[in-house]
């Protein structure tokens, strides 16, 4: 594609150099540039892509996108906002793939991965080819694609993956949409069919600063759903909102899509009542605009009732019959790394869960407290280079529900692990949690081993924070670490 053709994706640009330069690929990271690529110079929070232009040119970049004219040998497409240009140019280069797919975006503090997983299963069971994008994996049908980001990919990568999905004949793409992704404009080039909101509780205040700022970022998904009106139901957009979360009121005002609400407590379109936890899972009565049903699902926890309700509302909007939805939901056994049981036949229960926010931990532990017959032992930590204010709050939650707490590391990244533990401890102290009921132990493997060694029959050990993750990030190095494997080995080691 010619540089001029790509420039046509934006109204206001200036080409400095040969307009007919041939572009064979796009890249925003100088380290990945190949011969013939257009290199996008993005000013970031820690680096400025303009500084890497010479390196990109040395690797063969045939042109640049810049915010100012640089003194370099290759043509430049000068734009006002390089990040916006990245979304627009990538969508153009890959032929606007989102128009060929029905894309359902899921945002919220907790429950995105779980909800994408549930919804994808319901839709795939209808015989559709589905794409899934989230932080466990990215896949088209049963084909897995390497996930280079934790959650929502950069605009360029997103468009590349969506093109693959469209070319494969994918009907639906179900994707997690993070607040960072929305705020940084990574999804600006995407036309969503529907948006689902799970909930808004504290996280990421290091980036968004205030809860209002965080809510505003989430709201971007719904303000962009601009068309609920069409004689063609396939062209309508839907905003699926949690009636029990007050942020939904703001999202309702922001969107021009048709709103479908779901919840447990407040009046809404898709509601659950008579929720009962059983040893096999969770049962509830479903009331919806499409009828009533008794659901007996294998997933545990009230929070999973919310996740299922959001997915059911989205599936109903796609015209999937309630009876079929019910069958699909009841078939789902577990979502990887979410309340996943590590079973080596031991007398105590070991659960690995991805709770890494105060609300997530509260939900996981309150669920455990509903069925625990013995003591509750919690192993958890907080990520480094992330919202520090959530640390004592998570300490407080752990203290509230647990008989013993191991405070340990969870991806310390560039921070001192013991410093993170010291930030968590005031939360335990604030509620006068006895000092003989918790240990600060930065070595996560040892913490898991100790918890397992000391568990009694019927006790429940909740290992929270890392879920499906297979690494521990220490100083930028990802060391192999999988809570499930560490727990398995510790259980076996103990019984020998």
Ligand X SMILES: N[C@H](CCC[C@H](N)C(=O)O)C(=O)O
Binding site members: 30, 108-114, 178, 186, 386, 410-413, 465, 469
Calpha distance 118→246 (Å, rounded): 24
Nearer to ligand X, 25 or 465 (CB): 465
Closest C-alpha to 395, from 416, 371, 421: 421
466 binds ligand X (CB under 6 A): yes
Nearer to ligand X, 7 or 184 (CB): 184
Nearer to ligand UAG, 112 or 193 (CB): 112
107 binds Mg ion (CB under 5 A): no
Say which entry of ligand X, ligand UAG, ligand ATP, none residue 42 contacts (CB below 5 to 8 A, set by partner kind): ligand UAG
User: 386, 396, 444, 468: which one contacts ligand X (CB under 6 A)?
Assistant: 386
Token representation of residue 307: 């996740």
Closest C-alpha to 211, from 406, 357, 375: 357
477 binds ligand UAG (CB under 6 A): no
Say which entry of ligand X, Mg ion, ligand ATP, none residue 455 contacts (CB below 5 to 8 A, set by partner kind): none
Q: Which residues, at least 6 apart from 24, have a Cβ–Cβ distance to it below 8 Å?
A: 34, 35, 36, 37, 62
222 binds ligand ATP (CB under 6 A): no
User: Own/partner pairs for 42-46, CB < 8 Å, 24+ apart?
Assistant: 42/82, 42/83, 42/86, 43/67, 43/82
The residue assigned the tokens 């019910």 is: 326
Token representation of residue 115: 């909800």
In this structure, are residues 62 and 48 in contact, taking their beta carbons and an 8 Å threshold?
Answer: no
* Binding segment toward ligand X, per CB under 6 A, in 125-133, 208-216, 463-471, 483-491: 463-471
Nearer to ligand X, 193 or 356 (CB): 356
270 binds ligand UAG (CB under 6 A): no
Q: C-beta of 454: minimal distance to ligand ATP in Å? A: 23
Q: Taking CB under 6 A as the criterion, which residues in 338-357 touch ligand ATP?
A: 338, 353-355
306 binds ligand ATP (CB under 6 A): yes
Please list the alpha-helical segments (H only) found in 173-301. 179-183, 205-208, 211-223, 247-254
Sheet holding 25-27, edge to edge: 14-16, 76-78, 63-66, 37-40, 25-27
Q: Is 260 helix (H, G, I), strand (E, B) or coil?
A: strand
Q: Contact positions toward ligand X, by CB under 6 A? A: 150-151, 356, 383, 386, 410-411, 465-466, 469
Q: Contact positions toward ligand ATP, by CB under 6 A? A: 108, 110-114, 135, 151, 176, 198-199, 303, 306-307, 338, 353-355, 359-360, 363-364, 467
């Amino acid at each position: 594609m010619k540089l001029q053709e790509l420039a046509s994706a934006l109204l206001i640009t200036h080409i400095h150099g040969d307009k007919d330069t041939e572009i064979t690929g796009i890249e925003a990271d100088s380290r990945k540039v190949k011969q013939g690529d257009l290199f996008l110079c993005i000013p970031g929070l820690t680096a400025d892509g303009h500084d890497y232009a010479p390196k990109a040119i040395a690797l063969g970049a045939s042109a640049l996108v810049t915010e100012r004219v640089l003194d370099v040998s290759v043509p430049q497409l000068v734009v006002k906002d390089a990040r916006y240009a990245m979304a627009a140019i990538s969508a153009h280069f890959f032929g606007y793939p989102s128009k060929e797919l029905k894309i359902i975006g899921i945002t919220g503090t907790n429950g995105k991965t779980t909800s994408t997983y549930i919804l994808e299963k319901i839709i795939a069971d209808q015989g559709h080819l589905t794409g899934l994008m989230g932080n466990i994996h990215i896949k088209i049908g049963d084909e897995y694609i390497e996930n280079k980001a934790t959650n929502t990919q950069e605009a360029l990568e997103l468009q590349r993956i969506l093109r693959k999905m469209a070319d494969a004949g994918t009907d639906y793409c179900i994707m997690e949409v993070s607040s960072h992704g929305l705020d940084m404009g990574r999804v600006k080039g995407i036309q969503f069919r529907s948006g689902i909101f799970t909930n808004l509780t504290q996280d990421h205040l290091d980036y968004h600063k205030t809860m209002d700022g965080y809510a505003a970022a989430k709201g971007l998904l719904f303000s962009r759903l601009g068309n609920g009106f069409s004689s063609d139901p396939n062209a309508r957009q839907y905003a699926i909102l949690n009636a029990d979360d007050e942020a939904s009121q703001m999202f309702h005002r922001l969107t021009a899509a048709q709103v479908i609400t779901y919840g447990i407590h407040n009046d809404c379109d898709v509601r659950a009542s008579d929720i009962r936890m059983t040893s096999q899972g969770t049962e509830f009565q479903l009331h919806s605009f499409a009828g009533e049903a008794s659901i007996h699902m294998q997933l545990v926890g009230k929070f999973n009732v919310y996740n299922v309700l959001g997915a059911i509302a989205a599936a109903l909007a796609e015209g999937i019959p309630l009876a079929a939805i019910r069958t699909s939901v009841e078939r789902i056994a577990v979502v990887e790394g979410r309340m996943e049981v590590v079973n080596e036949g031991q007398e105590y229960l070991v659960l690995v869960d991805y709770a890494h926010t105060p609300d997530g931990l509260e939900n996981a532990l309150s669920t455990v407290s509903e069925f625990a017959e013995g003591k509750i032992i919690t192993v958890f930590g907080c990520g480094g280079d992330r919202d520090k204010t959530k640390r004592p709050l998570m300490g407080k939650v752990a203290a509230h529900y647990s008989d013993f707490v191991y405070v340990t590391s969870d991806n310390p990244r560039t921070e001192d692990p013991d410093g993170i533990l010291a930030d968590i401890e005031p939360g335990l102290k604030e509620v006068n949690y006895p000092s003989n009921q918790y240990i600060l132990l930065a070595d996560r493997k040892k913490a898991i081993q100790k918890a397992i060694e000391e568990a009694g029959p019927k006790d429940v050990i909740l290992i929270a924070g890392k879920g499906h993750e297979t690494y521990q990030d220490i100083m930028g190095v990802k060391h192999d670490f999988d809570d499930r494997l560490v727990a398995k080995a510790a259980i076996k080691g103990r019984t020998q």
